[in-house]
Structure 1
Amino acid sequence: MSRSELNQASVFAALGDPTRLALLAKISTGGNQSIARLASGSAVSRQAITKHLRVLEDVKLVKSVRAGREMHFAFQPEAVAASRRYLDEVSRQWDAALDRLQLFVEE
């Protein structure tokens, strides 16, 4: 498995958790958001939110920025774009494999 594939697997694993996916959706609406704001209205504790944000930060989906005493998190669209490119490549490979199979079956 290549380094790129391992990286993408980590991104997809991070997004496989419903809480992290919901956090990323909130963060991606724009601007830096504090942990307090992200935890507002959630059944998940601030401590758990922080742990989930660290996972997202580790795979470069979000970036943390200190704002006074608080940490704010911002969406990093580059990681999502890289994942999309990876999925597009995998899709092209599958399309090519299916085309070869169809030719084989029809012969």
Structure 2
Amino acid sequence: MVKQPDPILDRTFAALADPTRRALLARLGEAETLSVSELARPFPVSLPAIMKHLDVLSDAGLVERRKSGRVVSCRLNAAPMEEAMAWLSRYQRFWTERIDRLAAFLEKDEPLQEVECPPSPASPSGGA
């Protein structure tokens, strides 16, 4: 049975797909709250561009914004990332099992067979 798409998970991954948005989240992870101008300061893009990135992050539920007078403060909300981590952990188990099986296969005490390969036509000959 095919599971229906999860719009929250889709928005989370879409928001995390952009390196600028990931960098914004990393900055917010270092401080309790930052104003939009403080958050935008190290980025070589315009303030309107940062605002658009913050809109995407807010729509995904990853950033909470509060306005106090003329200052808009942003705060990280990592809860939507928990669902993304749970989704990814299923695949981590899958790949861990595959790698463990490969390691077990490679650690068997069977000698490796030597395979003789013919010389490549592009390889230089010894008589040059």
Report the TM range for the smaller structure's normalisation: 0.7 to 0.9
Aligned residue type for 1:27: L
1:35 equivalent to 2:36? Answer yes
CA shift for structure 1 position 85 = 1.3
Equivalence for 1:25? 26
Structure 1: distance between partners of 2:78 and 2:11: 16
C-alpha distance after superposition, 1:26-59 (max 9, x if no partner): 0111211111001113211111101100100101
Equivalence for 1:2? 4
TM-score, reference length from structure 1: 0.77
- Structure 1 stretches of 4+ with a deviation exceeding 6 A read none
Is the radius of gyration larger for structure 1 or structure 2? 2
Aligned residue type for 2:31: G
Structure 2: distance between partners of 1:2 and 1:64: 30
Structure 1: distance between partners of 2:38 and 2:81: 23
The number of residues matched between the two structures is 99
Equivalence for 1:79? 80
Name structure 1 gaps, 5 residues minimum.
103-107
Structure 2: distance between partners of 1:76 and 1:25: 12
Equivalence for 1:61? 62
Structure 2: distance between partners of 1:41 and 1:14: 20
SS of 1:81's equivalent in the other structure is helix
SS of 2:30's equivalent in the other structure is coil
CA shift for structure 1 position 3 = 4.1
Aligned residue type for 2:58: E
Which structure carries more helix by proportion? 1
| RMSD of equivalent CA atoms | 2.4
TM-score, reference length from structure 2: 0.66
